[in-house]
Amino acid sequence: MRDGDLPQDVWVDRRAFLLRMAALSAAAPSALAFVPAGEGYAPPAPGAGSSPFPEAGLPGDSSLPLAPGALDPARSAFEAARRRGLARWITRSLPEGEDELTVAEALALMNQGRLHPRALVEAYLDRIRRLDGVYRAWNVVLESEARRSAEQVAGWSPGSGPLHGIPLAVKDNYYVGGVLTTANSHIFREFRPSWDATAVVRLRAAGALVLGKTQMGPLATTRATTPEGRSTTVNAWTPGDPGVNPGGSSTGSATAVAARMAASSIGTQTGGSITAPALAQGLTGLKPTMGRVSLHGVIPLTYSRDHPGPIARDAMDAALLLQVLAGPDPADPRTRGLPPVPDYIRAAEPVTRNGRPALRWPTTLGILPGYLSGPPLEPGTEPEEGVAVQRRTRMLEEEAARRVMVREMERLGVRVVELPYPEEWDVLTGGPLNNVRLPERSEPFLTWLRTDVRLFGSALSPWINGLLLSGDEYLRGQRAKARLLEIVLEQVFSRCDVVVQTSPIPFDMIGLPLIALPIGFDETSGPARPMGAMLGAPPFGEERLLALAAAYQSVTDWHRRRPPDPEAALVASTPAGPRPWWEADPAEGVDPGRREALRGARPRRGVRIDAAQVMDLSQ
């Protein structure tokens, strides 16, 4: 194998990444110096302050056009794939409806002149109109713009972008010029940025269509809820049971894709917000290495931990999106000076040897203790009841699915090694160290904490706690994170290329990439619910993760399963969609005697913030 054929994680300088992460943490408070000047907040539209649905149409000019050649790696990778033959991406009998096509399949069909983007747009709009009253995945649907754009992009041509005519769902914390960007929070209730986030600029430049903005946990915290904490978006697999966790905080993005209301989507992850909804809804979510994708124009949660990335139907779709999203951005210092963007599309193309599915690169998978068989019941333990039995049963189902997944990977040629937990793992990844992130939440939002703490709704506590950590504790915590990264590189990735993870927190803390993918279904009670696996890699190991996921998905079909539509009676009894969070009545489900008091206590909407304050937030 030639050196040039090796994935990036093999040759990248891990020590340099360690130093980068340490510097990033230390630099967090001064990162504002890197943010370019410029207006970030459009002047309020006349009357907007009193309307829950301010009219769209404010200036949408992007103040940060892409640098010349910024999309060249994506175009080159896509053109190389086109020369290899996009038809190879269609690996199954094509489904009847356009809404069932993966991004790769749609691109292949468009390349053959067999599909027009408007057919895709209409298919998704039809489902949103009929079903999103139940799913509640969307805050804003850009129906007219999507239709207009689909007509404008026309058919395929040699210069077409890598995401030509692909309708995407965008989490509601990405700036989209002229479009409400609320982050499901009262703070941003009427926020219409005048420019697109860099990620959105790149997607649009690649030919993608922004179908709309998706619901999320308030300020990217929990599953999607109203600011007061009432659930909105449901799991696409259990639309009749809002109690089933759909995963968060990129909930709407995941539900939109799982329910076939968008071809693919982007989310953000600070503490599992891409991988969790992907796992809960049978999708493939990729959290890239810190800095691989620009965060400029994303409402911040934690400067040193926020990661944008795709939530897609399968590994190839995730690769197609990442290929476009990845790259340096003058407006985000985290993206500068990294290794060049590799060919993710090629990494995700399945490989065969001697006619059999195979690995693209020799790969060793590390298994941590308890992953395949959790702690046994203590002798003499009494049988559990109710919820405890269900939980235990699901755990056993998950362990069984994991064992089958590992066997499938071994059949593909993966070498499996058992690893001990790294030194001091529990201490360095536990709750108290995880709390070190909280001052990074509080600092950019101090103005709003001082204005009215009720603006934070039910998510307030961590913002308050972030004000209570002392400077020396914050610094020591940052240094502990650097030590954790060093330990993981020394003790885990010296022995394997990919490692299983059961929690996203450790790799979110230290900026390493994660992929989540479906590995089975739990059918022990109620409707079938997806089960998934989460795999982590060393810095810039996205190619490795995509290649392994693609190989696994070439011999399994979990990622192809489609949730059944909501029952007709449920659809009929629900207002038509979309139903954004602000349509909910704050007193819904509350004792009638308390409703008026609750409505009266509602914080004022849409606090006005000026350009300087927005730059504070845009760290």
Partner 1 sequence: MQELSDEELDALILTRLKLVGVDLGILPADDPAAPADQRRILASARSFLRSTPRAIRDLPFFHEGVVPALYPVAASGPPAHPDEG
| Active-site residue set | 171, 249, 273
d(CA 307, CA 326): 11
Please list the residues that pair with 224 across neighbouring strands: none
Candidates 91, 245, 364, 465: give the one binding partner 1 (CB under 8 A).
465
Half-sphere exposure of 270 (CA within 13 A, CB side): 24
Smaller CB separation from partner 1, 241 or 585:
585
62 touches 196 (CB < 8 A): yes
> Is residue 594 within the footprint of partner 1 (CB under 8 A)?
yes
Beta strands 167-171 and 138-141, pairing class: unpaired
Of the pair 230, 560, the CB lying nearest partner 1 is at 230
In the list 85, 430, 526, 564, the residue contacting partner 1 (rule: CB under 8 A) is 430
By three-state DSSP, how is residue 416 classified?
A: strand
Q: Report phi then psi at 250, rounded to 5.
A: -85, 50
In whole angstroms, what separates CA 129 from the centre of its chain?
24
Q: At closest approach, how far in Å is the CB of 455 from partner 1?
A: 10
Nearest distance in Å: CB 197, partner 1 = 28
- Among residues 464 and 576, whose Cβ is nearest to partner 1? 464
Phi, psi dihedral angles at 183 (to 5 degrees): 50, 30
DSSP 217-270: SGGG-SSSB-TTS-B-S--TT-TT-TTS---SSSHHHHHHHHTTSSSEEEEEES
Instruction: Map residues 81-110 to x or -, x wherever contact with partner 1 holds by CB under 8 A.
Output: ------------------------------
Q: Taking CB under 8 A as the rule, which mask of x and - marks residues 477-496 in contact with partner 1?
A: x-xx--x-------------
Q: Which stretch binds partner 1 (CB under 8 A): 13-21, 199-207, 327-335, 444-452?
A: 444-452
Member of 97, 432, 526, 564 binding partner 1 (CB under 8 A): 432
- Work out which of 467, 576, 611, 612 binds partner 1, going by CB under 8 A: 467
Cα–Cα–Cα angle for 268, 274, 280, rounded to 5 degrees: 150
How near is the Cβ of 21 to partner 1 at its closest, in Å?
14
Stretch that binds partner 1, among 380-388, 390-398, 454-462, 524-532 (CB under 8 A): 454-462
Residue 109 tokens, joined: 């069909």
Q: Which stretch binds partner 1 (CB under 8 A): 162-170, 412-420, 433-441, 510-518?
A: 433-441
> Among 32, 67, 377, 453, which residue sits at the site for partner 1 (rule: CB under 8 A)?
453
Eight-state DSSP code of residue 502: S
- Give the DSSP letter string of 21-75: HHHHHHHGGGGGGGSPP---SPPPPTTGGG-SSPPS-S----SSPPPTTTTHHHH
Supply the minimum distance, in Å, between the C-beta of residue 449 and partner 1.
5
Quote the radius of gyration of the chain (alpha carbons, Å): 23
Neighbours of 330 (CB within 10 A): 15
* 238 contacts 244 by C-beta, under 8 angstroms: yes
Q: Which is nearer to partner 1, 465 or 503 (CB)?
A: 465
Q: Which is nearer to partner 1, 376 or 593 (CB)?
A: 593
Residue from the set 241, 384, 418, 424 that interacts with partner 1 by CB under 8 A: 424
Q: Which is nearer to partner 1, 164 or 305 (CB)?
A: 305
Q: Which is nearer to partner 1, 449 or 570 (CB)?
A: 449
Q: Which of 76, 91, 458, 613 lies at the binding interface for partner 1 (CB under 8 A)? A: 458
* SS3 assignment for 338-372: CCCCCCHHHHHCCEEECCEEECCCCCEEEECCCCC
Is residue 76 within the footprint of partner 1 (CB under 8 A)? no
3 state DSSP class of 147: helix
Retrieve residue 117's tokens.
Answer: 């983007």
Q: Does 528 bind partner 1 (CB under 8 A)?
A: no
Give φ, ψ of 404 to 5 degrees. -65, -40
In the range 223-282, which residues lie near partner 1 by CB under 8 A? Answer: 227-229
> How many of the chain's residues bind partner 1 (CB under 8 A)?
40
* Whole-number Å distance between alpha carbons of 602 and 611: 26
* Contacts to partner 1 by CB under 8 A: 227-229, 424, 427-428, 430-433, 435-436, 446, 449-450, 452-454, 456-458, 460-461, 464-465, 467-470, 473, 476-477, 479-480, 483, 590-591, 594, 598, 601
